[in-house]
Amino acid sequence: MTTGDLPAAAFASRMAADGVTLRIPPITVRVRSDVRALALQLHNVYRDYALVADADFADVDIRILRERGLRRWDSKQAHFIVDGTTPFDPFPIEHALPTFEWGLNWVFAQRMNMWLLLHAAAVERDGKALLLPAYPGGGKSTLAASLASRDWRLLSDEFAVVADERGTVLPFARPPAIKNAAIDVLRAFAPEISFGPVIPNTRKGTIAHMRVPRASLELGDAGATVGMIAFPEFQAGATIAVARIGEADAFMRLAVHSFNYDVLGARAFHMAGALVRSCPCHVLRYGDLSDAHAALESLARTAVTA
């Protein structure tokens, strides 16, 4: 059963009572919330995710609860609680969805140290993964979302989850958070994309979450092997520029873009080395999504024939 198989009202009731357990490969997440608007938003953007029935175990237990007090039901603030702890300050109720997403990112980055976690978007086609590591603002989420609107499978817009030295990348596909001007850019590029609500005035500006295409979820937990790494650098108005970089250069960039390189130590050192040896690495400066797609298609053809 998927989230969308339940009527929205029933989903919201279940979330408020016992919580719902979602399979978000490669982990299982239990969510409980008395914020009905959040439940309805999750029902929308997580529509095609599997609901885990009678889950005895969840990797992460998240509760988003209205601030307690005499006027609890009038409260305009909510708390993010993970496994009984409250790591963040209360936040405005209307920011519940982005806070859920940021909170889950934070928990994932803190805990999932069985994998090398790169700050990168990742997409896959024909079993080969394209990693897009970037600093915030580098355009990786928008680029990954646009690729997923074509014939690429979205693995993640935030994490490249590298499982081993063979370069196996696991999915952690969640609704990409598209920000500010990029929302309209992506809407114009791919009108068929479905978004959740547009949420203004968050700490990252205006945000809309893209519903992950069903096709990206059909392979479930299946991973892909890294076939190419491109470091995107979005600059408004920039002409497309692609430059091959050396392995040592790419290695140092990956280390910088890792959430847990320091935690994994020598293991991460070997995994990063294996990654840059296994595939071509480029810097991709772009200002237009269509140009970026064309450049990546060209690189992908070259990688396949190399």
Partner 1 sequence: MNHKSSPAWRIAPGQRLLFQDFEDGVVLFDALVGSTHLLDASAAETLAIIGEARGLDASAIHGKLLERLELSADALPLATVEALLQRFEAMALISVESA
Kindly list the residues in this chain that would bind partner 1 in the complex (CB under 8 A): 246-249, 251-252, 255, 261-262, 265-266, 269, 273, 276-277
Of 169 and 245, nearer to partner 1 (C-beta) is 245
- Paired strand residues for 2: 50
- CB nearer partner 1, residue 76 or residue 166: 166
Integer Cα distance of 156 and 145 in angstroms: 9
Q: How far is the CB of 22 from partner 1 (least distance, A)?
A: 34
Number of C-beta neighbours around residue 181 at 10 A: 12
CA angle 202, 161, 272 (to 5 degrees): 115
Would you say the C-alpha torsion 218, 222, 225, 231 has a positive or negative sign?
A: positive
Taking the complex as a whole, how short is the minimal distance between the CB of residue 300 and partner 1, in angstroms?
23
- Nearest distance, CB of residue 232 and partner 1, angstroms: 21
* CA–CA dist 249, 276 (Å, integer): 9
Tokens 């029933």 appear where? 10
Q: How far apart are CA 281 and CA 75, in angstroms?
A: 50
- For partner 1, the closer CB: 102 or 251: 251
- String of b and e for 53-87 (b: at least 16 CB within 10 Å)? eeeeebebbbbbbbeeeeeeeebeebbbbbeeeee
| Least distance to partner 1, CB of residue 251, Å | 5
- Tokens 């920039």, located at residue: 238
Closer of 135 and 269 to partner 1 (Cβ): 269
Q: How far is the CB of 210 from partner 1 (least distance, A)?
A: 34
- Between 10 and 248, name the residue whose CB sits nearer to partner 1: 248
3-class DSSP string for 108-163: HHHHCCCCEEEEEEEEEECCEEEEEECCCCCCHHHHHHHHHCCCCEEEECCEEEEC
Determine the 3-state secondary structure of 197 from DSSP. strand
Least distance in Å: CB of 274 to partner 1? Answer: 9
Considering the complex, state which of residue 118 and residue 148 has its C-beta at the smaller distance from partner 1: 118
Nearer to partner 1, 70 or 266 (CB): 266
State the minimum distance, in angstroms, from the CB of residue 235 to partner 1.
Answer: 25
